[in-house]
Amino acid sequence: MNRSLLYPRATTTRRLIGLDGMWRFSFDPESKGVEAGWALDLPSSLSMPVPASFCDLFTDKASREYCGDFWYETSFFVPAEWSGWDIVLRFGSVTHRARVFVNGVEVAQHEGGFLPFDATVTNIVRYNQFNKLSVLANNELSETMLPAGTTRTLADGRKIAAPYFDFYNYAGIHRPVWLMALPKERVLDYSTRYRLTETGAEIDYTVTTNGPHPVTVELYDGTTRVAESSGTTGTLVVKNAKLWNVHAAYLYDLVIRIHEGSAVVDEYLDRIGIRTFEIRHGRFLLNGSPVYLRGFGRHEDADIRGRGLDLPTVKRDFELMKWIGANCFRTSHYPYAEEIYQMADEEGFLIIDEVPAVGFLQSTANFLAANQGNGRQQGFFEKETTPALLKNHKAALTDMIDRDKNHPSVIAWSLLNEPQCTSAGTEEYFKPLFELARRLDPQKRPRTYTVLMTSLPDTSKGQRFADFVSLNRYYGWYVLGGAGLADAEAAFHHEMDGWAKVLHGRPLIFTEYGTDNLSGAHKLPSVMWSAEYQNEYLEMTHAVFDHYDFVQGELVWNFADFQTTEGILRVDGNKKGIFTRQRQPKDAAYLFRKRWTTLPVDFKKRKK
C-alpha cells in the first residue's frame, strides 16, 4: 500500500500540478447523482472556487444551510511524459466525507473533514488528454463521526445539520488539491527525534519506502551540508546545531534520497527544526529552558471563504499574534491546513494540535449546558454508537500524528475538546486513545484534552490520563457573570485549590477563557458584552492565574470572532474574539499586548 501523508513537494523526481481554481458544483438533495451518471457529467452546475466553503458564497438561506450530498467537478491534463510514473490525486481535506471519481471510475472514499487523503489513478487516467475529476461530498453529522452531531429533517423535507459543537458546520473542498507524478519506488514517510549534546545535536530518523533500494539522508544549512547518514534508520550528528526557538525559528533542509547505483530513484525535501520539548518538575521545557504558554484558541474561519484555506488571512493572523506577544495556539477544534503549521515552523510559534473530537456532549446548546452545569448527564461513551465513534477517533488521531509529527512547532497533542467525562465509560474510551498517541509519536510529546466546566477535580474521570491538564473556564461569563464578579473570583479560587490536590506535579494551562464583546460596545459602568466588562473579567481571571504557580499557560478564547449556528445566544456568531472577524483589534487586544509583551518567556520558572 502506497498511501502517504507527506506534504506535496516538487523535486528532481516528483512533479506537481495544482488543481485549485473554479470548479463546477451542484447540490444533490435526492442523492441520485451516482446512479444518474453525474461522475461523468455534472448537470445544471454552477461555478465554485476551490479551496473554499460553499456556504457563505450564496445569498439564499437554503443554499447556505444545505445539508446532504453535493458534487464538485473539474478537468485535469496529464502530460504524456508522465507515463511510467504513479499518478496520484491528493486532497488537503473535504468536509466531511468524500467519494472521488476519475473518468467515471470511483478511486477513493474518505471519512473525516480535516485531514488529507490521496488516490492512485495511474491505470485510469488518459495521457496527453484531459481527464474528468468528480467529487461527491457530504456534510451530514452523526454521533459516530468527528465532530459529533446529528442531522434532522425539516417540515418541508430539507435536511439540516444539528451540531453538538459551537462553530458553524462549514462544508466543501477546504484545502488545496494536487495532481502528482511520483516514482514507482518512493519515500512514503519519515520521522525524527532529537537529542541535544554538549557539541550540538543528534537527530534519530526513520524513513519508510515502498521498495528495496538504499536510502541516504542529508541535512543542509543553506547550501552547506552539515550532516549525512545512510539507511532507513540512522542518526544525523549536527555540530554546533542552531536550535529552533520561540520567535527565533531556525530551519534546516532535510534531503531524503533513494538510490539505484548512481541514479536517484526518488528525492523528497522538507524543512525541520532542531528542538526538544518536555515536561519536567511541573514546567514546560523548550530546549531545556522553561517556557510559559500565552496565546489563543483559534478557528479556521473568515468572511466569505468560511473554513477554506486563505493565505492572506493566514499571514495577517500570524502578524497579529506577533504584535500581541503570543507564542502559542491550539488548533481548536480540528487539525488545520498544513500551510499554517509551516508558517508556525517559520515564525517560531508553538502549537497544541487537536483532533476533531468535539461535540461529545449531547446538547442542543452544548456551550451553555456545559458551562452552566445544567446539562443532563448523557453518558456519551456508553451508547450503541460508541464503538464506531472510537474507531473513527483512532483513525483521525493516527492521521493527525502521521501528518504533523515532524513539525517543530507542534509541542503537544489534544485528544478531545470538552467531552462529557464524568460517566462510567470515560476511562474505557480515553485509555486506548492516550496509549495510541504515545505509541504513534516518535518524539513522545505530552498529551492532553480540554476539561469542560462541569468536570471538576474530584469528578473528572479522564484527567488522570493527561500529561498536563487543560481547563476551559468561564467564571464571570457563563457562571456568576455581571455584577457578581467577586463571587466568580471566589468560586474560581475554590476550584483551583481543588486542582492543586490532584495535579501531582503536572502543569495546568487554560485552553479557553473569555467573554463575548460586541465590537464598539462601551458602557460606564460596565455591563456584560461591553469592552469595559471584558477587560474587568480578564484582569480578574489573570489575577487568579498568577496566584497559582502550577498554571503554566493561558490561551484565551478566541483569537477572532467566528461564525456559529444561529441562536439567541449568538449575535451572528461567537463574539469572544480579541480581534474582530475582519482581523482588527478590540479594546482587549491592547490589554493582552501589554501583559504578554512584558511577561518573561520563562514566567513562573521554578524558584530555587
Active site amino acids? 418, 512
The values of phi and psi at residue 242, to 5°, are -95, 120
Strand partners, 150: 162
Q: Which three cell numbers stand for residue 10?
A: 516538487
Q: How far is it, in rounded angstroms, from Cα 203 to Cα 274?
A: 8
Buried residues in 76-100 as b, exposed as e (16+ CB within 10 A): bebeeebeebbbbbbbbbbbbbbbb
Q: How far is it, in rounded angstroms, from Cα 329 to Cα 332?
A: 9
Element (H, E) at 73: strand 69-78
The answer to whether the beta carbons of residues 94 and 135 sit under 8 Å apart is yes
Q: Which three cell numbers stand for residue 253?
A: 533542509
Strand partners, 553: 293, 509
Q: Which three cell numbers stand for residue 312?
A: 492572506
Reference 252, options 201, 207, 301, 211; nearest CA is: 201
Q: How far is it, in rounded angstroms, from Cα 475 to Cα 239?
A: 50
Output the CA–CA distances (angstroms, integers) from residue 444 to 21, 35, 208, 413, 449, in the order listed: 39, 47, 19, 10, 16
Alpha carbon 563 to chain centroid distance?
17
Angle between helix 311-324 and 338-347 (nearest 10): 40
Q: Which three cell numbers stand for residue 15?
A: 512533479
Q: How far is it, in rounded angstroms, from Cα 555 to Cα 558?
A: 8
| SS3 annotation, 342-411 | HHHHHHCCEEEEECCCECCCCCCCHHHHHHHCCCCCCCHHHCCCHHHHHHHHHHHHHHHHHHHCCCCCEE
Reference 62, options 29, 40, 16, 91; nearest CA is: 29
Write the CB contacts of 275 (distance below 8 Å, at least 6 apart in sequence): 194, 243, 244, 245, 286, 287, 408
Element (H, E) at 189: strand 187-196
